[in-house]
Amino acid sequence: MKVTLAEVCGKGQYGLVASATDLPVGPKFLRTTDMIDGSINWDAVPYCQVDERKQDQCLLREGDLVISRTGANAGAAAYVADPPEGAVFAGYLVRFRANDSLADARFLGYVLQSREWADYVTNTRTGSAQPQLNAVLMGKFAFDLPPLDEQRRIAEVLGALDDLIDTNERLRARCESLAAEQFMSRVVAPAMSSTAGEDDGWLRLHIGDIARVVETGRRPAGGVKGIVDGVPSIGAESIGGIGRFDYSKTKHVPLEFASSVSRGWVESRDVLVYKDGGKPGEFRPKVGMLGSGFPFDRFMINEHVYRVRTDNRVSQEFLYFWLASPPMMEALASAGTGAAVPGINSTAFRGLPIVVPPANLRNELQGVLAPLVDSCLSLAVEAQDLRRTRDELLPLLVSGAVRVRPEGVAA
């Protein structure tokens, strides 16, 4: 049966116009940038101030569907699962609620990840400089709707894969957190106090003293818009944590260009540092680490990212957790300059401090950090394999090319 989104959800509702803040001044405030791969990482969602009346109007609940209506991400959609109490959504989003007697909300969430929806968005949104997709146009999207019990079975199959992906992400985050806790207690805390002195074998150096490589990448003149194949080229939007990457933001450079460039090729476990960009006058540093085939076997960075490799005095893992520690994130933010394009230049970055403990402590700590980083990256690879399986199944199930029988066996 062919239906439209409006027929099974009613009218879409626009969200709240407010300012986001990292401070817990009110409810969680969902924005387009908080939606990744059809889901939401609530831990990363900021807060906002809102009066009770407006909060009630824009309150999110389990099973809501939110769709971005403007900008490069117009049409990006997410299924709302486990929203924090009182969470609201921003004005650049449109919220739809499924009529439970007609449609399964999670099934609709998968429909909004389908190629049919993507094609509809491409052909329907208006505006070239700032693409727009209003609630009425969203509601006119037509798609095949199987019987309700089959919708639920499809959502159950795809949802099981998503649940495994979520479990992997929680384990990955926990491994990184455990490593960070060890590093904080055994390196950062002593380094920031008077207990770590040169007489005890601790060295107070600068990043430039231990860095063998500090370099950015490049992109071709004219940018990379419209290039859909070639060598993956990642920017500052992909930096943050170990084994974390949003494939929807992947850009590419032509193979011919990549072959002509010697710098910016990422090696496994490079420490990646956000160099410049963002809002004028506001530099928010980010540090990341990728590798072991994640997110790609071969890829590059662009000119807004540093890749850093150390000499033998400290490991890549040591450098990552040093730079990602709260005191060093503050130091990076303070070193960021530039009113129009905030960032940290190479000289300032190389001049940042690093405290190196005695060799016996470094070796002991590496025995803890390396296996946990291994786990982070292997879990990231497993999660991507699960995503690939889900994405291969999704169009087959949603289109009806593959049916799910009541006993759960595809036919």
Compute how many other C-beta atoms are within 10 angstroms of the C-beta atom of residue 115: 12
359 neighbors 368 (Cβ within 8 angstroms): no
Angle between helices 359-399 and 115-124 (to 10 degrees): 80
Tell me how far the alpha carbon of residue 270 is from its chain's centroid.
Answer: 18
User: What Å distances lie between residue 310 and 191, 316, 398, CA to CA?
Assistant: 19, 6, 48
201 neighbors 190 (Cβ within 8 angstroms): no
Note the helical H segments in 184-269: 189-191, 207-210, 255-259
Per-chain mean pLDDT for the chain? 92
Question: What is the three-class DSSP state of 254?
Answer: coil
Closest CA to 76 of 16, 31, 19, 28: 31
Report pLDDT for 126: 81
Query: For residue 340, what pLDDT band results from cuts at 50, 70 and 90?
Result: low
Question: What is the three-class DSSP state of 95?
Answer: strand
Q: What is d(CA 58, CA 95) in angstroms, rounded to the nearest whole number? A: 9
Domains detected in the chain: 2-145 (3.90.220.20), 171-373 (3.90.220.20)
Query: For residue 128, what pLDDT band results from cuts at 50, 70 and 90?
Result: low
355 neighbors 323 (Cβ within 8 angstroms): no
Residue type, 270: D
299 neighbors 234 (Cβ within 8 angstroms): yes
Dmax (CA) of the chain = 78
pLDDT at 250 over 80: yes
Bridging pattern class, strands 65-68 and 77-79: antiparallel
Q: What is d(CA 231, CA 254) in angstroms, rounded to the nearest whole number? A: 6
Bridging pattern class, strands 300-301 and 251-253: unpaired
Closest CA to 165 of 75, 81, 95, 84: 81
Rounded to two decimals, what is the model's pTM?
0.86
Does residue 226 or residue 131 have the better pLDDT? Answer: 131
Closest CA to 46 of 77, 87, 14, 81: 87
pLDDT, tens digit (0-9, with 9 covering 90-100), for 77-114: 999 999 999 999 999 999 999 999 999 999 999 999 99
> CA-based Rg of the chain, rounded to a whole angstrom?
23
Compute how many other C-beta atoms are within 10 angstroms of the C-beta atom of residue 53: 8
Question: What is the three-class DSSP state of 130?
Answer: coil
Q: Which residues share a beta bridge with 213? A: 309
pLDDT, tens digit (0-9, with 9 covering 90-100), for 363-400: 999 999 999 999 999 999 999 999 999 999 999 998 88
pLDDT, tens digit (0-9, with 9 covering 90-100), for 289-300: 999 999 999 999
Tell me how far the alpha carbon of residue 377 is from its chain's centroid.
Answer: 15
Residue 69 exposed, middle or buried by CB count within 10 Å (0-12, 13-18, 19+): buried
Give the DSSP letter of residue 128.
S
